[in-house]
Chain A
Amino acid sequence: MLSRSAQGLYWMGRYLERAQHLCRLLQLQVEALVDRPVREIHLGWSRIYGALNRQPPFGGIQFDRRDNYTLADSYTLAGDLTFERSNPDSVWNCFSLGRENARQMRHRISAEMWICLNLAYLRIQKLDIEDIWKTSPENFYAETVEEIHTFSGVAATTMYRDEGWHFMQLGHCIERAQISVALFLSQIATAKLYQDSPDGDCTTLLRLYHAFDAYDRKHSVEIQPHQVLDLLAADPLLPNSLCRSLDSAAAELAAIAHGPSAASSAAASRLAGRVQALIRHEWPDRKDREAMLRQIGEHCRGLHDQIMTAYIDYSVEDAPVH
């Protein structure tokens, strides 16, 4: 497959995963605006911005107990994270970039996938924060997540399982792993800032990962932050856990034939295996979760770079000719 096509599909997977993840976070956050205490709302915003490694538009999130201020700020923050064109991490930008990669790779994905994505794009294009804020903003996020899920389902049933598929899935898994690491680190940091919050709002995290039932089954109804983190990070049975994302990334990589340089491809596989081993075998025994998450995050970035080197940006000098 053409390297640039593989790259386009890989980034399509990444951007759509990023858009979906942010939508889900925002959906839960705006749901919290209805009945959660002001402090928890602030914690939620801090966690999101921390995960994105960004500053909010007006410089920082100030703790103010008054509802009016919190709601007004929330409107601004949601606008910044959803439709702001100058924010590269906004839902609008992530979704548009995912769709743009799909547009350039239309000949490589199924017609049904394209139409599904384009319809969602046409809907989002017409909206802004005012439109969605008037009624029920959570519906907008839920609908967008649903559209991305539909896209994934359509892809699963219509896309040819060639390298393109695996690169798309690889992008999707690596993105999910990286944003999970960033979110968990942000969770640890915000929990330190908001120590008066009993569980650091871990329930939102459990909902985000559709992990409530699994947590209840495994532990008890009482939420313990370290148990939540262990579940979300290291449970291989949880569909969106960090562990499962890394397992899937390794499996997708294994499904792709080796690149022009066998050594370079092997380096990517080794890295994928190493980070998989970290979460599967070292996580249970290591106490310093934060340091470990940072290490995993670095490995994920390294894995991304190594994939680019092995398949996309390789030197043509020594590349084999077919």
Chain B
Amino acid sequence: MEFAGYDLDDGIYDEMLQPNGEPREHSRLLYETLCQLSSDEINSIQERVTRSFSNEGISFTVYGDAEANERIIPVDCLPRILPPSEWRHLEIGLTQRLAALNRFLNDVYGEARIIDDGVIPADVVRGCPQYRSEMCGVAVPHGTWVAICGTDLVRTNQGFQVLEDNLRVPSGVSYMIANRKVVKSSLRRLYRSSRVRGVEHYGRLLQKTLRELSPSGRNDPCIALLTPGVYNSAFYEHMFLAREIGAELVEGRDLLVNGGFVYMRTTTGLRRVDVVYRRVDDDFLDPLVFREDSLLGVPGLIHAYKLGNVAVVNAPGTGIADDKSVYAYVPDMIRYYLGEEPILLNVETHLCRRPEELEYTLDNLENLVVKRVGESGGYGMLVGPHSTLEERDAYAEQVRADPADFISQPVLPLSRAPCLIEGRPEPRHVDLRPFVLHGTETRLVPGAFCRVALRRGSLVVNSSQGGGGKDLWVLED
């Protein structure tokens, strides 16, 4: 495999190669190994990796595409490597960030000191569609609102930045583990020589975290993973995690609330459930409290939760902290709650709710990425440089109609990593989503779901928008 002709750009950080074409020190072994492989060999590795995903049915669903009920997630066989020092930096930064976010949630659903102290405007918080007034005054176990966090990180020449926090039902961890399993077995000798830290124990850490959050006095808590069902885009992951943590995979119709306790319907009768790891959005969790037309949720669940008879993880209402407007205030939260400077920086963000930032956004649409504050998965956004004038005009109209629903950010030169495209290495933009767990303490596996924008020049890494995955290797010290 040859890197001759591999496109390096001074303005874009390459994860494997330095601007002079030499491999970065931590990627040298990978680079040299790849250079020794013939084209046939590397193609056969890629084929094996792809086939393995297909055989195992590692899939996701693309909404609105009847043919894609079980689309196999594309995976690139070339791993991305992080040296130990970079991972340490991320680990500390992510731990700090999650601590602040949990403090923030405790605060805004409690005394709301951060609002009274003028750090964040009340309307940003209480005007956010994800703000759940029903959760005010609820004491969540150990103050842990967010037990499972998937933070999207990108790298530019200036270093790592947080693109967004996913605090409701973050997904992708199953692909991290699946990528590892298949890439490890395809690049066996390289993997062994590289001294890569394992990620396979994620399930154990997740189970430990969920058990810590179960109502007190329950020695052997019963954990249920609540899925919206087989048509959900992440159903594969729900099934995978249920197996990993030894939980029952339940749908709303399998659960009921009686006398303030949650039960699931088993073949021998009703069994009490102590922890609901929900992969259902707030809106659909409990039709008695949120959307009354929801068929996915469990009537009475929030009542049982408020009584402390069941843990719901992540807690309802966490969406307020990963709202794209609130995101802009996370560095201030870190300073406010922890008295520390943020270790991981945010991407510069313009809130269109502010008139001057709205004007700036509208004047610079062709250079910005504009997103709806409540959307995720790459839906509902405009990538300025890749848009047509008509698309920008139509989008501008939407922004003007409801400015508070939009934010804008500069188009970041996301780092790139070599991917095997038609038998040759070509650079593609990547990000990474590490998963942080917090019950009574914070836990991370050294790894992440590394997403790749497989289309040439594309910056959109979401699986639903043509993105794929890569294995991320964090090296031992």
Point out residues on A near B: beta carbons under 8 Å. 1-6, 103-104, 106-107, 111, 114-115, 118-119, 122, 163, 167, 256-260, 311-312, 316, 319-322
Contacts and interface: CB of A to CB of B under 8 A. Distances in A.
A257 to B, nearest CB: 6
B156 to A, nearest CB: 39
Contact of B270 (A4, A106, A118, A322): A322
A201 to B, nearest CB: 40
A319 B230 contact: no
Nearest to A4: B254
Given A1-B266, A103-B70, A321-B272, 10 more contacts: A1-B267, A2-B266, A3-B254, A103-B239, A104-B239, A107-B243, A118-B57, A257-B268, A259-B268, A312-B267
B243 A119 contact: no
B267 A3 contact: yes
B34 interface: no
Between A107, A312, A316, the greatest number of chain B beta carbons within 10 A of the residue's beta carbon is seen for A107
B54 interface: yes
B269 interface: yes
Given A4-B254, A103-B230, A322 B268 contact: yes
Sort A-B residue pairs by CB-CB distance and give the 6 closest, nearest first. Answer: A107-B243, A260-B269, A320-B269, A311-B267, A107-B242, A319-B269
Contact of A322 (B248, B256, B272): B272
Interface string B39-69: 0000000000000001111000000000000
A115 B267 contact: no
Nearest to A321: B270
A115 B268 contact: no
Contact of B269 (A6, A107, A312, A321): A321
Contacts of B263: 321
A119 B267 contact: no
B367 to A, nearest CB: 45
A163 B268 CA distance: 11
Nearest to A317: B258
Contacts of A312: 267
Contacts of A321: 263, 269-272
Given A4-B251, A321-B263, A119 B55 contact: yes
A168 to B, nearest CB: 13
Contacts of B239: 103-104, 106-107
A114 B270 contact: no
A321 B265 CA distance: 10
B254 A2 contact: yes
Interface in B234-267: 239-240, 242-243, 248-251, 253-254, 256, 258, 263-267
A160 to B, nearest CB: 12
B233 to A, nearest CB: 15
A315 to B, nearest CB: 11
A5 B271 contact: no
B266 A115 contact: no
Interface string B266-295: 111111100000000000000000000000
B229 to A, nearest CB: 9
A2 B226 CA distance: 13
A115 B267 CA distance: 27
6 contacts: A2-B250, A2-B266, A104-B239, A316-B270, A320-B269, A321-B271
Nearest to B225: A107
Contacts of A257: 267-268
A256 B248 CA distance: 19
Contacts of B265: 2-4, 316, 319
Contacts of A320: 268-270
Given A2-B264, A3-B266, A122-B55, A322 B243 contact: no
Contacts of B251: 4
Contacts of A256: 267
B269 A322 contact: yes
Given A3-B267, A322-B271, A107 B56 contact: no
A107 B249 contact: yes
A107 B265 CA distance: 17
Contacts of B253: 4
B330 to A, nearest CB: 35
A107 B254 CA distance: 16
Nearest to B241: A107
A201 B210 CA distance: 62
A258 B230 CA distance: 29
Contacts of B271: 321-322
B388 to A, nearest CB: 38
Contacts of B230: 103-104
B224 to A, nearest CB: 8
A260 B268 contact: yes
Contacts of B70: 103
A151 to B, nearest CB: 14
Contact of B54 (A4, A122, A316): A122
Nearest to B248: A2
Contacts of B264: 2
A118 B59 CA distance: 12
Contacts of B243: 106-107
A321 B258 CA distance: 10
Contacts of A316: 256, 258, 265, 270
B173 to A, nearest CB: 15
Nearest to B56: A115
Contacts of A119: 55
B242 A118 contact: no
A90 B27 CA distance: 53
A118 B250 contact: no
Nearest to A117: B57
B68 to A, nearest CB: 14
Contact of B266 (A104, A106, A107, A322): A322
Contacts of A104: 230, 239
A118 B55 contact: yes
Contacts of A258: 268
A286 B66 CA distance: 54
